[in-house]
Structure 1
Amino acid sequence: MKLDEFLAQVSEELGTDPALIGEVRDDLLDLTRDIAHNAIRPAAPLSAFLVGLSVGSGASAAEIREQIAKVTALVEKQA
């Protein structure tokens, strides 16, 4: 599966606009790469998550966990 196809599936599952990730995909990949190589590797995905929260809809922790569970289930289907 290609990256764009997977991200489109994740966007659909989470009810977000798939065009939004397309606009910032390379920026987020660059950010996580830079953090992983120049700071602390586990901080890369968590930092991307924090960026998302800072511009997000103000979801509660429970709602965020629900969204994470949806993406995890989607990943497990791909394996």
Structure 2
Amino acid sequence: MNLHDWIDELSDVLDVETEVDEALILDLAKVAADNVQRTAAPITAYLLGFAAGAADADPDEVEKLAGRAQQLAESWDKPADAPDPDDIDDDVPDDSSVDHTDDAYED
């Protein structure tokens, strides 16, 4: 079985009828993997497909969407090992020794 056969079979299983430009998707996935991180490749391909489906995009529109995604990936300047800001646990200062009585509100 080759890639084209796989795409045909998978399309049948997923009950979708679409034209797939394998080279376009593979090129985009490679750029995302090389410039962002490896795991960005399948996510990028998925999001391209999602966007194309949501827009009921024709092949020319899919190519434009892929071009925009590729341009973003090529300009990506964050290192692959940079921490995700949502995953950073900032140190919370220990203020247990601070007197929390507020003299400003005393009568």
Shorter-chain TM-score range:
0.5 to 0.7
Q: Greater RCO between the two (CA within 8 Å, min separation 6)?
A: 1
2:7 partner letter: L
* Overall identity of the aligned pairs, in %: 31
**Which structure has the larger Rg?**
2
Q: Which of these residues, 26, 36, 39, is aligned with residue 29 of structure 1?
A: 26
What is residue 5 of structure 2 aligned with on the other side?
5
Write out aligned runs for 1:1-79 (5 A). Answer: 1-18=1-18, 20-21=19-20, 24-57=21-54
| TM-score for the superposition, normalised by structure 2 | 0.47
**Matches of 2:25 and 2:2, distance apart in 1:** 17
5+ unaligned residues in a row in structure 1: which ranges?
59-79
TM value normalised by structure 1: 0.62
Q: Whose helix proportion is higher, 1 or 2? A: 1
User: Structure 1: which 4+ aligned runs deviate by more than 2 Å?
Assistant: none
- Alignment length, in residue pairs? 55
